Each structure stands twice: as C-alpha cells, then as structure tokens.
Chains A and B, each alone.
Chain A
C-alpha cells in the first residue's frame, strides 16, 4: 500500500477544496477589517496613548499596526495562491476532458441524471416531424447534430462551452494581480523629491528607507505654477520640467496632476508644492562685536557660535505665520540630548539661545515642487491580471453551457418523443427553452392527413 500517497492526496484534496476557498475569503475579509479599525503605521507614542502599553506591545508583536504588510497576512495571500493553483490543476483536466468529449446520444442512464426532462407523444412519424421542422426553421435545425441508432433518431446540440473556461481565466487573473504586486513590492522603487524652482536634482529619497538614490540623470524644475478658479479652488498644479543627461536637454514637459511623465525608466507624478527660503541669520553675544552671519535652508543644521558649541536645526519655514510675517521653526540641539524648538519671526523677533541672540536679517523665498518618483516592473502584470479577471467574469456570467438532447423513437401510432437538457447555470432558462421546443414539436407533429 502507499500510505504516503493517500496522505498527499488528501492534503492536496484539502488544499483544493471549496471550503478552503470560502474560509480564505472570510479570513482575508476579517483581517482587512481589523486593519481599518486599528489605525495603521502611526508613531509608537500614539498607540501608547490610545491602547496603553500592554495592548500596544501585543499589537506590535502580532503585527496589527501594519496588518497588510505583516508576515501572517502575506502568508494568507500565499496560501490563496497555492490554493488557486491547486484548484486549477485539480479541476482543469477534468473540465477540459468533459468539454472535449462529444455529446453522447440519450441513454436511459443519462436520462435519469439530467435535470430537465420532458416526454410526450406525436401523431406524425419521425421523418415527417423532422421534415416539417427543417422546412419551418432551418437555422434552428442546423444547430442539431443528427445520429440514427436503429430506427431511433437522436438530435444533439450543445452551446456555450467556452463559458466553462471563464472561471479559469478569472483565476489566472487573480494570480496575475498577486504576482504583479509581489514583483512591484520586491523590485520596484518609490521615492519623493522636492525641487526648488530653477534648480535641478539627481538624487531621490527612497520612501521608507530614506536612502538617497541616484537617478542617473538630472531633473530641473524651471517653473512651478498654480492656477485657481474664481472661487479660489485650485484648478491646476503644474511643474515645467526638463530632463537632462550629461548636460543635454533630453525631454521637456509640463507635469500636472493626473498627467505623469515617464523618463529613464521612472514615472514622475505631481504630488505637492510649497514655499521654502534661504534665510540669513545674525548671531551676536552681549551686543558686542560684529554679528556672525549664518545662512540656512530647511533641513540644515549649523552652529551659531565660533566655537561650534551651540547647534541649531532649521525645521520649517512659513511665509506668514499667524499673520506675523515670515517665521522659522528652529530647534536648539542641546548637548544633554533634549532639543528645544521655537519659532523665530523676522519682523519683531530676537531669539535667545544659549546666551546668544539670534535674528533674521534676510529672507530669500523660493517655491518648490514635490514629485513622486516610481518604478514598478510588475504593474503591467497587474493590469493584465485585472483584464483577465474581467474577461473571465464576462465569460462565466454571460455565457451558459447548455446541452440539449432530443430522442425521436417511432411508435405504433406516431412518435415517442423525449427532450432533455442540462446546464451549468440558468436551469430556469433551460426549462423554458425545453418547454418552447416541446411546443414547437407538438405544433409540427400533427399528422398531415388530418390537416
């Protein structure tokens, strides 16, 4: 005996069972619901405030703060893939075979297994009925194959076989989407870059890791433009970009929302914009001596004293904070490791940091445009998969696989007639069709001599 074989068969059988399909659908739905009820990917502090330390630690450990990228969620998706493959491998050969084998004439055994059967008697003989039908509805008649067994005539018709393949096409599509998404996740790139008006960049910050990645070419923003409707609603955000390689202008284009630009294997998307500034500060101790000049832009860190003891970081710039004009959010990075942040205003402010007084002497504003940069080698597979899902659904839901058997057996006085049918769906419609067929036969099956 082969105990191993039966074991793998039963495992395979279980992997391909419809029950597992339903279970996977409902588990995925449940997990997705969890991910919408618990806020995802927030700072640790926020979870602590919401749920307390014990629950937060459990959530972090189980992966509930990033459900859709957790190992167990991916595991379920992986199981879905295995399951889909198992289902298809298990059922496709049988489906294919049953679609390829020709329709057998109606036997007694078959008759018992068919869902729709109608039996009635006709006065006319077999040939007479067939002639009458051929004369009145040749198109209808040509759909039937004729097969004679002894004196009995069998008419066989089958349609919509292709619709049985719809499910397989849709399942291929689902696989395609999951495979394409995985490829994008593994080999794709997502980044963001801010380009000041008139400047160019060649490094892009990778989302998540924060790494600076070279593009291999330069992107210059010549101009950034916002236009508005009369009521103030923004109408268009537009960056006039130039893509340059080795100093040559290779491509120029207007980047707008909903109109991305492709260059050098990357796609560029208009994502945000803002105003930044080059700010000149003057630092002085005890109003003695000439002030020290320091020039900074957002993100810069610099010392404000000659000894390099007092270090500040330029966190943010606002053109007009609370109606008080330009302001800079500065953080004093103290040596005890506890930074202190505060706003410094150009108009009325002098900040005092570590005994030094600091003021803004000059502001040079410029606009920047925020651009999303992406490369996704899997996205076309996702779109092909989506197409297959739609084609498969259309095949499965619009088509009906229907088989009709008609058996005409000569009797002593006329013809014994059976009409039977089967369908993978729409038994109601098939029943109606059989009733209509039977009516037609009864009309045509009246003996000619009577009239």
Chain B
C-alpha cells in the first residue's frame, strides 16, 4: 500500500470517528464516546504514518523532501494538525461533544485532498528548496488548525444558545462560558502561529527573491486573516465582545482562513500556486 492509498483510507476512519462522536453526543452514550475517541486516535496515528511514508517514498524516488509542498500534501498536514489540536482539547477538557463539531474537518480535508488534487510526488523546483519553507508551512498550518478548532467551538456555542436551557441537550453541552473561553484560548494559540507563519514566509521570500513583502494575493489574504483575529483579541479587552459576538467574529476569521488557504489559489492569481 502506498501513502496515497493509506491516506484515502484514513479519511474514512476520520468519517467513522465523526459519526461516533455525533452518535455519542446525541445519545449521551459514554461507551460510544470512548469508541469515537479510539477511532480518532487511530486516524491520527494513520495520518501521521501516511505523512512519514510519503516522506520515505520521496527518498526512494531519489529526491527526498518533507511532504509539505503542494495542495494535496498541505491538506494531509491540515487534517493531521486539526486532529492533533482536537485531541489535545479533548485530553485537557475531558469533553467529547466538541468532537461532533470538529471531527468532520480532518475528514473533509483528507477526503477532498485525495479526490480533487494531484497526488503524485514531484521533486522540488529551486525556489521551494528552503528550510524556511518547511518552517513556514508547519507554523501556518498549526495556526489554521487552532482556528479550525475555534470555529468548531463557536458553532457549538451558537447551537448551545438556541437550545432550551433546561433541555436535555443543553445539560450535556459545555457551558457557554467554557465555550467562550475555549474559543479565546484557541485563537490566542492560533494567532502567534499565524504570525510566525507570516514572518517565516516573509523571510523565505526575502532569501529567495529579495523582497519580504510583495502584496501577492496570498500574502495579502493572510494579512487580512491576521487583522481579523487581531481585532478579535483586542475586542475582548472591552466588555460586550464576548459570547455571541466573539463567536461570530471567530466564524468570519475562519472563513478568511479558508479563503487564504483555498480561495486565493483558485479564484485569484499569484506567486503561491500551492498551499
């Protein structure tokens, strides 16, 4: 089995885990919740194995490089990073319901990545042969993954608000305060990573082309995303920007993240023809 086949199979494992999370949170079955976590961990391990297998395959082809250099590989990394961030959240806050709102993201990322994009391993053109590129991609995607988690938490917050506060579901869900806090923590984690991603990208551009910032659409959209999350973090310093409004801003921020990641590649043109 090569890495591509393995990773397509893993996307189905993520799907199964998402189902299990949804079932466990609607039926409140602890047993089902454990199964969901177990499947998620299996998906996480398989995702990582696929990543390293692909790395080895590139070495066997004689032009070894870390698999972080095209749309497909970036989506494999995004799935892995999102799963990692989610599992950390689950370990830290001992709550599986967030899984029902986050676990579909690694599934979609791996699944769509395998279906829509070229999965062949190609050697690196000279501009991509840089350690800054590796640092740039990894930090950006850790940021994106934290933002994905904040997006899932914000969705959950909005659902929680619409529920009857005395109802059965409302009682199992984390409190609004906790969700709001998680949303903030996720963004306060993602923001430094996105900053580092933008900075390492600028250093790379400076080393490769002698220009650290050229207002290329991808760069510009990463700045727009950064500004939205900076607005989120500063808005929290004044009262009245918690809860609902924070959740809305977080969803807008994630929309900008997705546009930076995908929209720019397909709708606008620029230097970044890949992630």
Cβ 8 A contact of B122, one of A233, A269, A271, A382: A233
Residue of A nearest to B177 (CB): A428
- Cβ of B234 within 8 Å of any chain A Cβ, yes or no, is yes
A390 at the interface (CB under 8 A from B): yes
- B125 contacts chain A at the CB level, 8 A cutoff: yes
Please tell me if the beta carbons of B127 and A269 are within 8 angstroms of each other in the complex: no
Majority SS at the chain B contact face: helix
A68 interface residue per 8 A CB criterion? yes
CB of A386 within 8 A of CB of B202, answer: yes
Interface contact B227-A25, CB-CB below 8 Å = yes
Contact yes or no, A256 B231, CB < 8 A: no
Q: Are A25 and B228 in contact (CB under 8 A)?
A: yes
CA distance A234 to B178 in the complex (A): 52
* A19–B210 CA distance with the chains assembled, in angstroms: 37
Name B126's contact: one of A29, A258, A428 (CB within 8 Å).
A258
Q: Produce 1/0 per residue, A338-353, CB < 8 A to B.
A: 0000000000000000
Contacts of B126 in A (CB 8 A): 234-237, 256-258, 270
Interface pair B192/A390, CB less than 8 Å apart: yes
Name B182-236 residues within 8 Å CB distance of A. Answer: 188-189, 191-192, 195-196, 199, 202-203, 206-213, 215, 217, 220-221, 223-224, 227-228, 230-231, 234-235
Contact A397 B228 (CB under 8 A): no
A428-B199 contact given A32-B224, A233-B125, CB 8 Å threshold: no
Within 8 A of B (CB), among A51-69: 68
Residue A40 contacts which of B62, B189, B195, B215 (CB distance < 8 angstroms)? B215
Residues of B within 8 A of A236 (CB): 126
User: Is A25 touching B129 in the complex (CB atoms < 8 A)?
Assistant: no
Does B192 contact A394, Cβ atoms closer than 8 Å?
yes
Say whether B181 faces chain A, with CB atoms less than 8 Å apart: yes
Q: Is B268's beta carbon under 8 Å from chain A? A: yes
User: CB within 8 Å of A: which residues of B?
Assistant: 62-63, 122-123, 125-127, 129-130, 177-178, 181, 188-189, 191-192, 195-196, 199, 202-203, 206-213, 215, 217, 220-221, 223-224, 227-228, 230-231, 234-235, 237-238, 264, 268
Selected A-B contacts with CB under 8 Å, 22 pairs: A21-B234, A22-B234, A22-B235, A25-B230, A32-B220, A33-B224, A36-B217, A36-B268, A229-B63, A231-B122, A231-B123, A234-B125, A236-B126, A257-B126, A258-B130, A258-B207, A267-B210, A269-B208, A269-B210, A386-B199, A397-B188, A397-B189
Given contacts A29-B224, A36-B217, A382-B202, 11 further A-B contacts (CB under 8 A): A18-B237, A22-B235, A29-B231, A235-B63, A237-B126, A257-B127, A258-B126, A372-B210, A393-B192, A393-B195, A397-B191
